[in-house]
Amino acid sequence: MPKILLVEDTEELAAAIQRDLSAHGFEVEWAADGLRALELHASGAPDLILLDWMLPKLDGLSVLRQIREHAATPVMLLTARTEELDRIIGLEAGADDYITKPFSTRELVARMNALFRRIDLIEQTLRHDRQAEAGQALVYGGLTLDPDAYRAALDGVTLDLSRTEFNLLRLLLANPGRAFSRAYLLEAIWGVDYVGGDRAVDNTVMRLRKKLGATGDAIETVWGLGYRLQADAP
């Protein structure tokens, strides 16, 4: 039974959502303000947070930012704000999805289940990739990577790579031509509890490209998504 933390200051709306979600098989805990939400998140480890934007004591955006400092719990914003900029601000602050008030229970449950499916798909793909890469030596033009020896070399010269740079290069070399979203790379390289955001991915790619010299140009930016390694070595 997925555990949901509902953060909503309007008691009547919160009671209705809690009743309807319970009828659909969810376990729901309710917080009426931002500070209480942080307390329940810390003590309850919910599977998903439904977070209202306008809250007393601490607004929803501040709650989201504080949670993202130490946890990657999926968050869906419940908001009456309909402007595109507001939605972008919420997503860039770390929300996984949003739903605009007023909404039906059917739509809310459908979007929650869709979010859970996306998370499950990422986890399944991660497991598959890790199994496929285990112990496999990789070669890409003049670039070689030996996972067992934890060594990468370019034209016979050992590269001085950090752990995250090495693991990112390993993932790319194992999947030339495949595009990876930043969200997937965060899960695969940094782990589910890391919440450094897209900048962590972009900065690591930038450093890796520099260390690879001309070969680094083979790591292509896929605009609006993430990165991929060219299918054929330059």
- Among 13-22, 160-169, 190-199, 207-216, the least confident range: 190-199
The answer to whether residues 219 and 172 belong to one domain is yes
Confidence of residue 129 (pLDDT cuts 50, 70, 90): low
Q: Mean pLDDT for the chain?
A: 85
**Total number of domains in the chain:** 2
- Residue 130 has a pLDDT of 61
- CATH code, domain carrying 197: 1.10.10.10
Does residue 223 sit within a domain? yes
The answer to whether residues 107 and 10 belong to one domain is yes
Mean pLDDT along residues 181-202: 71
209 pLDDT above the threshold of 90: yes
62 pLDDT above the threshold of 80: yes
Q: Between 117 and 212, whose confidence is greater?
A: 212
- Residue 163 has a pLDDT of 82
- CATH code, domain carrying 52: 3.40.50.2300
Mean pLDDT along residues 10-22: 94
Q: Which domain holds residue 155?
A: 135-229
Mean pLDDT along residues 27-40: 95
Confidence of residue 193 (pLDDT cuts 50, 70, 90): very low
Question: In Å, how far are 21, 22, 23, 50, 94 from 105, measured between CA atoms?
Answer: 8, 11, 11, 13, 24
Confidence of residue 206 (pLDDT cuts 50, 70, 90): very high
pTM: 0.59
Does residue 115 sit within a domain? yes
Kindly state the percentage of the chain with pLDDT values over 90: 44
Mean pLDDT along residues 73-91: 78
The answer to whether residues 92 and 26 belong to one domain is yes
For residue 171, how many C-alpha atoms fall within 13 Å in the half-sphere facing its CB?
28
Does residue 130 sit within a domain? no
The answer to whether residues 89 and 195 belong to one domain is no
Nearest to 37 by CA among 22, 25, 48, 26: 48
The residue out of 102, 125, 148 marking a domain boundary is 125
List phi, psi (to 5°) of 154.
-120, 115
The answer to whether residues 141 and 91 belong to one domain is no
